[in-house]
């Protein structure tokens, strides 16, 4: 049974979901507009085979929501501190969306802490831009710039959190998939917490500020850690072409496109995702 816990690390009170007591240590790092709740099906699928920890990132859901900072290096520092707090020296990092960039950041900054990487629809900024000259991406990425406006974005979205969060959960999924009402209700609850909208948006604000210089340092670097990349074949917001060049960065990479799947691979195809992770881990351990 998945348990909720709170722990103090890196100066913040973190909410984490945990399952398992033995086996490989796996850290599950969510993206936006989700929380640690997004890993519930993966954790259930992999129960009894590993020890899993899924934190709400700083600014999200039931974790503290400081004024800042929200750059990826600081957020990766939170993950390292949670590993320390739970007595884990080295873990498999699984990251989706923003969480994938946090996982990659930790792999770059502290490779000895990372046993393996699993990237789910996670763009690697040193390889290129958001491709806004592509008309489809220009239409999709409006939210990225909307989130840059402090106070205005929060004020407008707070008037109808369900409509805003629900739009992305629906639109970024494959047409054949639909989130359950209870799932949407949980995400709306999470983003209705005081300062939770701001916390989520601050991750995007850091992406155009502090993160830029950090990623620039990484141009040309290779990550020599076993890596599994999973990508929804029909992801509208992060199309598979965002993984172009990954073979130049991740020197031990396994790449899988997931058919009939959008952005939320772990939610839309939990059984297939868990199976791919299990197969990959057999090559690591």
- Of the candidates 187, 204, 242, 246, the residue annotated as catalytic is 204
| Helix segments in the chain, DSSP class H | 40-45, 72-85, 98-109, 135-140, 142-146, 152-158, 161-171, 181-191, 196-207, 210-216, 246-249, 265-268, 270-284
- Of the candidates 96, 203, 263, 266, the residue annotated as catalytic is 263
* Cis? peptide before 9, omega within 30° of 0: no
| The token pair that represents 30 in the structure block | 């969510």
121: left (phi over 0), alpha (psi -120 to 50) or beta: left
Q: How far apart are CA 238 and CA 50, in angstroms?
A: 29
Alpha carbon distances (Å) from 238 to 81, 134, 148, 234, 278: 29, 12, 19, 9, 25
Residue 15 appears among annotated catalytic residues: no
Residue 263 appears among annotated catalytic residues: yes
- Of the candidates 62, 78, 97, 235, the residue annotated as catalytic is 97
Sheet containing 25-29: order of strands: 3-9, 12-19, 51-55, 25-29, 91-96, 114-120, 227-232, 253-258
- DSSP-derived letter for residue 265 is H
Count the neighbouring beta carbons within 10 Å of the beta carbon of residue 91. 26
Residue 260 appears among annotated catalytic residues: no
Single out the residue of 270, 228, 208, 216 nearest to residue 108, CA to CA. Answer: 216
90: buried, middle or exposed (CB in 10 Å: 19+, 13-18, 0-12)?
Answer: middle
Catalytic residues: 97, 204, 263
């Amino acid at each position: 049974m998945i348990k909720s816990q709170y722990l103090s690390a890196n100066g913040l009170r973190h909410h984490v979901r945990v399952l398992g007591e033995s086996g490989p240590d796996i850290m599950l790092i969510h993206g936006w507009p989700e929380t640690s709740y997004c890993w519930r099906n993966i954790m259930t699928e992999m129960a009894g085979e590993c020890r899993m920890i899924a934190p709400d990132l700083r600014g999200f859901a039931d974790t503290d929501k400081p004024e800042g900072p929200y750059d990826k290096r600081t957020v990766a520092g939170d993950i390292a501190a949670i590993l320390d707090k739970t007595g884990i020296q080295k873990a498999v990092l699984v990251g989706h969306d923003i969480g994938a960039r946090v996982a990659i950041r930790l792999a770059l900054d502290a490779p000895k802490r990372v046993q393996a990487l699993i990237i789910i629809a996670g763009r690697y900024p040193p390889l290129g831009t958001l491709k806004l000259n592509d008309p489809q991406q220009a239409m999709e990425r409006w939210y990225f710039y909307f989130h840059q406006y402090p106070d205005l974005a929060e004020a407008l979205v707070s008037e109808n959190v369900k409509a805003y969060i629900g739009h992305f959960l629906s639109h970024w999924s494959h047409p054949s998939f639909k989130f359950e009402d209870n799932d949407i209700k949980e995400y709306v609850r999470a983003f209705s917490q005081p300062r939770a909208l701001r916390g989520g948006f601050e991750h995007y604000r850091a992406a155009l500020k502090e993160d830029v210089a950090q990623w620039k340092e990484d141009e040309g670097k290779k990550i020599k850690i076993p890596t599994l990349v999973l990508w929804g074949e029909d992801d509208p917001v992060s199309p598979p072409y965002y993984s172009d060049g990954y073979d130049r960065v991740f020197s031990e990479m396994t790449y899988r496109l997931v058919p009939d799947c959008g952005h939320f691979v772990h939610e839309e195809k939990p059984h297939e995702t868990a199976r791919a992770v299990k197969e990959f881990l057999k090559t690591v351990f």
